[in-house]
Amino acid sequence: MCHPASNLLFSLLLFFSSTGSGGVLFGQALDHPLYELEARLKKGDQYALFEVAHYFDSQAPISLFFCSNPWVTTEAYVAKKMVKESCQFKPEEFIITDSTTGRQFFDFLSLYHQQLLFFKMASCFMLQAPEKWEIRFDLRKISSLKKEEIEDRIEELLDLEWIKQSQVEALIARKDPKALLAITAELFTHRRDNDRFKSPEPYLQLVHWLTGMEIGVENEHGKMSWVDDYYFDDKSRFNLWVFFAKHYQQFEWNEQESKFINPQLLIRSLDKEEYLFQLLSNENDSLAMDAFIQLSSCSPQKVKLAASEYFDFSMVKNDFIPVFPCAFITKLAELTAYCRDHGIDYKGAALLQKKIALLGTELPVNEMVKLENDLIQGLNLEEITVLEYWALVYESRWQLGKSTKRILNEFYQKNWQQILAQPKHLDLYLKKANLLYQLTYQGFYNDYRGRFSPITAEESKALNNHSTQDIEVKAEIELLLGHKKH
């Protein structure tokens, strides 16, 4: 999905990179008993689970390090975290929460310890084998673009140390479908904090290369997970392993296509929006920009669904598309859909597009001011959305954003009375105010609400009298009139 907690993500990345791949997360004292228990849990020592239960009620302090700064928590928190990382139980079997007591977990273990299974491949305790779990999944063909990217680095992938040290290399050489199970089990084993941020990409690319398909599985929020959730979401990693535990034996190697094929599974083609989103991260600026422009006019629902596979920082590999592509493209798609529904031109004539493009160049100051003034005087209410649309598309062009801010401020001041008097234009303005405020980044798109502050009697009257069927416009009116909080 498009993840909004970008700052948190950045902090987490700094934190985990500072611990190192073999670093220890918990405590200042490396001889704390919980460390020994964690090591035993990884090896499948069932008795270690009983011993960890004794810490579930302990409020004794223990330090976790965040960006080299100690964060003091409790032994209970650490113990429960260790168990969550070491066990996979169904909700109806057992759920560990902040309020779970040591006695509750101890009683559960006492009742079911004879049924408890340990799967060395995934370093995981379970009551039922993974192939007996029911999961939701979606299968789609790998795009030619992704296929080419993987083939360009397949020798590098097959030469990775973990492949050589595990059974994966031999399984691939024998064309044994168990390789798919082993690769996804390896990915799942990196769920613990000191391993979590090892990139999942090599594991996923190997699966894509060996099967010619991408597998979507449910994440911890019950939504379909394809790409970036594998960085953060243990449920995604677990469900991918479960998928192959249930199906790997049905795969057979096809010499002609050089991949494993499972005739019992239905694999769909990529939707247009899914394919275009994959192009956004292409290093070719023109390809990425063209995909962004196409997406801006696609169905908002389909764009939002495709965007849910990604988070912004994982995508930007070129200098043309906005720095926050998921956020921008979902709002742009909503805006263009509104424009199409209401007969509003947002792409504009060739001459106007040319002038807007010039705003993003390094013109001499006097020429830039003249161009801005010409647009302030020449644009009308039927054309202003064209400038706003292209300025959002080319948000990464700093000069274009700067000029757009000045043009819009003076244009709206000049035409404000007309907007208040004409329902079509007031509705459109309020729609922009609602959609673009949600971007929450610095830019001209933050100014729409501010033009009503402080609200005048004339503006209040226009808003109170305005009739609209658009839910977001209604919400914006309530907010501006003070009937609803930000």
What lies within 8 Å, CB to CB, of 284 at 6+ separation is 318
pLDDT at 65: 64
Quick one: what percent of the chain has pLDDT higher than 90? 71
Instruction: Report helix angle 398-421 to 365-378, nearest 10.
Output: 20
**pLDDT tens digits, 425-442:** 999 999 999 999 888 666
Long-range contacts of 246-252 (CB under 8 A, 24+ apart): 246/130, 246/131, 246/133, 246/135, 248/177, 248/178, 248/180, 248/181, 249/177, 250/177, 251/177, 251/180, 251/211, 252/177
Pairing relationship of beta strands 124-126 and 117-119 according to DSSP bridges: antiparallel
What is the mean predicted confidence (pLDDT) over 104-109? 96
pLDDT at 431: 97
Instruction: For the chain, give every domain's residue range.
Output: 24-128, 137-261, 274-480
**pLDDT tens digits, 242-287:** 999 999 999 999 999 999 999 999 999 999 999 999 898 888 889 9
**pLDDT tens digits, 11-41:** 333 333 333 333 344 444 456 898 899 999 9
Q: 217-231, 286-300, 465-479: which has the minimum mean pLDDT? A: 217-231
What lies within 8 Å, CB to CB, of 74 at 6+ separation is 58, 59, 60, 61, 62
The answer to whether residue 111 scores a pLDDT higher than 70 is yes
Q: Which two tokens stand for residue 34?
A: 């919980």
What lies within 8 Å, CB to CB, of 1 at 6+ separation is 223, 228, 229, 307, 308, 309, 310, 311
* 178 or 327, higher pLDDT: 178
**pLDDT tens digits, 183-220:** 999 999 988 766 666 788 899 999 999 999 999 999 88
**pLDDT tens digits, 397-406:** 999 999 999 9
pLDDT at 194: 61
- Report the mean per-residue pLDDT for the chain: 88
**pLDDT tens digits, 332-385:** 999 999 999 999 999 999 999 999 999 999 999 999 999 999 999 999 999 999
What pTM did the predictor assign? 0.79
Quick one: what percent of the chain has pLDDT higher than 70? 87
Q: DSSP characters for 50-108?
A: HHHHTTTT---EEEEEETTEEEEEEHHHHHHHHHHHHEE--TTT----TT--HHHHHHH
Number of CB atoms found within 10 A of residue 221's CB: 11
pLDDT at 229: 59
